[in-house]
Amino acid sequence: MSPDAPAGLAGGTVVQLPVKPGLVGLYLGNVVVPGRFEPHRVQGFAGRAEDVAELDTAAMIRNYGLAKIPGWGPLDALYLLRFAVGHTFPFRTSYGASDREIAAEFGVARVYPPPFLGTGYFPGVDHPLPEYVLRLVELPVGAELVVRTAEGETRLGQYHSRKVGWIPEQKDAFGESTFFPPPVSLPPLVRRGYTARYRGGDFDAEFAGPGRLVLHPLPGAPAPADFGETYGFRMKAVDQVELDELTFVRTLCRWRGGTFEVLGRTRDAADLILVDEDFLTARDLGLSEVDYRVWRQTVPAAELTDVRTEAVPVPLEGRFQ
């Protein structure tokens, strides 16, 4: 087992990630920024909702350590992306360091700059909160965006599925959250994420609770007769135990010494996201930090080497964990 396997999580655990204020409208508005942001995906540092249930908003902001992050934005409100884990596959405990040699002593290669602690806890000030690293993954069905202020918590929107997108609560809002109202189909430019074999067919999949997934026909493929229709799209919810197999797929490559995932590609260019959890690599390659500790770059496609498909089986986890 990996030394940073995610202890303390199960499929039914509710987690939340602090969201940089400037990205909230992009999520709610289903806005794709080519090569930089997709509203149906998430990556970053997550914590269990139960660990902060008794804290007020100011204490949550302090203990997530947001004031220590340069350029985070205003701290008078806390925006959170919240959802049930569904499966522990994409999570790791945040062991590592700000130095490669020290990270190696933990048995990991995770190297992030301060305020990262590398101890498995957020860099807070008075209440240690367990911290998990979430790899880039498609959002699970039912994810919510909420905002917390001194007055309390308000839900801003809910994510329906990759075929419908985000449904904001406030219909007459001004700004990015009104750009692309649902339904908004959000297929990846390069197929990636969870894929499922079901009754001999091949489908895209996304989690919808512990051990539960929603299946989508591939582009151009007919939907089976028992798939229901939602917002004009055919989909079906099933338990993982009903699947022939569940796999996590992505396209990896090498570019200038680093390991990347290919998220989009044209004839001449490729949109890459850094897979190596090493800020020193990002710094040396001059990558763009598009979200907190998320580095991307668009590069000439001819410069890619060792392009390959990675397909990792996702083991069965109990539905009621």
Q: Is 17 a residue whose pLDDT tops 80?
A: yes
Q: In total, how many domains does the chain have? A: 1
Instruction: Express each pLDDT in 53-86 by its tens digit.
Output: 999 999 999 999 999 999 999 999 999 999 999 9
Taking the CA atoms of 161, 162, 166 and 167 in sequence, report the sign of the dihedral they define. negative
Q: Is 271 a residue whose pLDDT tops 60?
A: yes
Q: Is 320 a residue whose pLDDT tops 60?
A: no
**Within a domain: residue 186?**
no
What's the confidence (pLDDT) of residue 321?
34
Q: Are 84 and 12 in contact (CB under 8 A)?
A: yes
What's the confidence (pLDDT) of residue 59?
96
Instruction: Average the pLDDT over 35-61 and give the result.
Output: 97
**Within a domain: residue 312?**
no
What's the confidence (pLDDT) of residue 319?
46
What's the confidence (pLDDT) of residue 100?
97
**Within a domain: residue 226?**
no
**Within a domain: residue 299?**
no
What's the confidence (pLDDT) of residue 2?
80
**Within a domain: residue 3?**
no
Range of the domain at 161: 14-178
Instruction: Express each pLDDT in 186-230 by its tens digit.
Output: 877 899 999 999 999 999 999 999 999 999 999 889 999 999 999
Q: Is 131 a residue whose pLDDT tops 90?
A: yes
What's the confidence (pLDDT) of residue 106?
87
Instruction: Average the pLDDT over 121-147 and give the result.
Output: 96
Instruction: Average the pLDDT over 234-243 and give the result.
Output: 97
What whole-number percentage of the chain has pLDDT above 70?
A: 98
Q: How confident is the model at residue 318 (pLDDT cuts 50, 70, 90)?
A: low
Instruction: Express each pLDDT in 111-124 by its tens digit.
Output: 999 999 999 999 99
Q: Is 171 a residue whose pLDDT tops 90?
A: no
Q: Are 277 and 110 in contact (CB under 8 A)?
A: yes
Q: Is 284 a residue whose pLDDT tops 80?
A: yes
**Within a domain: residue 53?**
yes
Residue 45 pairs with which residues in a beta bridge?
A: 133
Query: What is d(CA 237, CA 12) in angstroms, rounded to the nearest whole number?
Result: 17
Ordered DSSP codes for 51-67: GGTT--HHHHHHHHTGG
**Within a domain: residue 170?**
yes
Burial of 101 from C-beta contacts in 10 A (0-12 / 13-18 / 19+): exposed
**Within a domain: residue 261?**
no
What's the confidence (pLDDT) of residue 3?
83
